[in-house]
Each structure stands twice: as C-alpha cells, then as structure tokens.
Homo-oligomer: A and B are copies of this chain.
Amino acid sequence: MPESIPQDSVGLVQPRTLHVDQSLELECGRVLPAYDLVYETYGTLNADASNAVLICHALSGHHHAAGYHGPDDKRPGWWDNCIGPGKPIDTNRFFVVCPNNLGGCHGSSGPTSTNPETGQPWGPDFPMMTVKDWVKSQTRLADALGIAQWAAVVGGSLGGMQAMQWAIDFPERLRHSVVIAGAPKLSAQNIAFNEVARQSILTDPHFHGGRYYLHDTYPRQGLILARMVGHITYLSDDAMRMKFGRDLRSGRFHFGFDVEFQVESYLRHQGETFSRNFDANTYLLMTKALDYFDPAREYDHSLEKAMEQTRCNFLVMSFNSDWRFAPERSREIVNALVQAGRDVSYAEIDTPKGHDAFLLPIPEYTKLFSAYMGRVAGEVAAHV
C-alpha cells in the first residue's frame, strides 16, 4: 500500500465468500453440486438495490478489482484505474461487485480447491467452464446479494464476453452491458495462440496430467512460456517499439542465449512472476472458455438473432492498436446490435497500447467511460 491511500481509492477492502448449495448444470454436461464464489464489493447498495454494477474479469483476473487488501500491498486491484470515488465506475454512486470466476485460482471453486468426493484438489477433474456457465453462476451471487437487476454488467476482453452473454441469457437482469476490447468469438489466430499456450503447459514434464499438486511441483516453464506468448498479443507492435525498441541490456551483443535485448528480459520477468501466482489448470480452463465462446452458435450462427434476445443498452469500446481483439471485432458486435434494433454507443479509442489498453488510464477512454457510466448513474437516481 502506498504511504497514504489515495483520495480516489476505495481504500482497504476484504474479499467475502458465497457458498452456493444449489447445483449448477454446466454446458459440458456435468453438474457442480455446490460451489464457492469469492467476491469483493465497493460502495453501498441503495435501498431498492438498483445501483449495482457487476465487474467480470478476464483471463488472468480475479475478484480483487480495486483498493488494497492490507498495508503490505504495493499495488491496488487490477482495475483500480476505473473503479473508485469519481472514477468511471464511481463508488460514490454505484455498488460494485466483482467475483472470481468458477475454475479460477483465487478462492472460488476451481482446480486448486478440494473435490469433496476425493478430499484431494480437483486438478484436471474440475469441469470445463464456459462463459455461459460463469454467467449462470453469477446470477446466484446476484440473488444472494438481493440484486434483481444490475444497473450494468461491465467487462474487458473475456470479461466483455461475459457482459454480452449476460445480456443474451438474462435480458431482464441488467439495464446496461459494457463490452470493452471484446469479440463475438475467437478467430483461428486467437485459438492458435491459445493452443500454443496450452501445449506449453500440457507438455511440461512437471504437469503430471494436471495432478502436479500431488507431486509438490507445478509446470513452471509451461506457464512462463504460455504467459510470454500471451503477453506479446496483449501489447501492440508500436507499444513494444516505444517501450523497448531494440535496446540492448548491456549495450552490446553477447552472442549467446542469455538475455540481450530489453524485450527478452521484460518477457521472461512477466512470465516468471505470472508462473508464481497463477494455477496452470486454471490457465488451461480459461483459454478453453475463450475458444468456446460463440453466442451466435445457439442462434443459427446469427449474432443478430442472439442480440435480439437482449433488452439492455450497450456501450462497446475498442482500441485501434489492439490486434488481439481488433476494432473490427467490436464493430461486428455493434453491427449485430444495430441490426437487432438495440441502443448501442460505440467508441474506438486512439492509443498505441494494444489490448492491454482496457486496463490503463488513457484520458479519452476514461472520459468516454465516465460519461456513459454517468448516464447509467443518472438513471439509477431517476429509478429510485
């Protein structure tokens, strides 16, 4: 934690856990008899529970989206740029809820938690999850918190996919869906990058078929490689050029395989840090959820028909240097919404920061996001 908590921070926060004793039928055909969802909340729920905003996290995210857990925290939650007093998701006006997804590795039921049938970690036996499953599991959290309808469901990347699926599957349970740096489904190239990441993990000799917990090890190298290749796709070519160029770490060539260019050092560091903090089975599961996401599939492969199920308003935002989920992919979503007769605002933000931009304090992005969420908050006031 910084010496003093910034004025615009939600401050010290604590995660809570919801134990759901109701079984959850999954798309893969299996059933979770019960599950835990760990989550955080920021702000105060109003009397008629009309000011609640759900935050959905992306591939490597979790429930700790804003504020600090304790005095030793060096960094706040992953979306602290966007959540807090006076920020786009203004905690003076909204009650913000952010759960860790099922299959995650930060407290919700997932491969690292105990399988009640065996008393061992679930590991590879944890069921495969889909975006649709996550959304269904999140309705139980809304029920438990007494939230019949979200003012907005908001997410970036894989989180944006959940915001879309909420609008399609539970149209009466949200008034706004905010889809940032998203896509209506993965391209072959996206799937290909995910497959490289998965193969890195699956073929690591320390993976042990996913039961590495029992061998007191984990597929460290596989996770490092998976994160390195992922990380390249989160940054734009321009962002990398500005950040590293061809700078050499020691100013000269060494003609060996140790780190020579700054970008190598950065990537290895990113990979190593990640490998210490993330579970390999969760990573595998999250990449598959991405690959499977395709809401049009249920509607004769028509995204327009899928969007005809929705009732809420939409904000769609993309970043012009994002080549992982390029603006074209967001425009596919917008076009389907327009054809389905929905109310949609679209913004394409000019930034060299690539896919990662959705996490960053980019003035144009913050301004537009704030303006839209201000409108959502205004409706809440009218709604009360």
Q: Interface of A with B (CB < 8 Å)?
A: 27-29, 127-128, 185-189, 191-193, 195-196, 198-200, 202-203, 205, 221, 224-225, 228-229, 232, 235, 237, 240-241, 243-246, 253, 255-257, 260-264, 267-268, 284, 288, 291-292, 294, 323
Contacts and interface: CB of A to CB of B under 8 A. Distances in A.
A187 B263 CA distance: 10
A293 to B, nearest CB: 10
18 contacts: A28-B253, A185-B246, A186-B246, A187-B237, A187-B246, A188-B261, A189-B240, A191-B264, A192-B228, A192-B264, A199-B225, A199-B228, A199-B268, A203-B221, A203-B224, A225-B225, A261-B291, A323-B323
Contacts of A267: 192, 195-196
A256 B198 CA distance: 11
Given A128-B256, A291-B260, A246 B200 contact: no
Contact of A246 (B28, B127, B188, B244): B188
Among A196, A224, A229, A288, chain B packs the most CB atoms within 10 A around the CB of A196
B232 A196 contact: yes
Contacts of A198: 257
Contacts of A244: 188
Contact of A28 (B186, B255, B260): B255
B202 A200 contact: no
Nearest to A232: B192
Given A229-B229, A255-B128, A245 B200 contact: no
A25 to B, nearest CB: 14
Contacts of A268: 195, 199
A265 to B, nearest CB: 10
Among A205, A255, A267, A268, chain B packs the most CB atoms within 10 A around the CB of A255
Nearest to A28: B255
A266 to B, nearest CB: 9
Contacts of A203: 221, 224-225
A202 B258 CA distance: 10
Contacts of A229: 196, 229
Given A128-B255, A228-B199, A263 B205 contact: no
Given A202-B257, A256-B128, A257-B284, A187 B294 contact: no
Contacts of A243: 188
Contacts of A187: 237, 240-241, 246
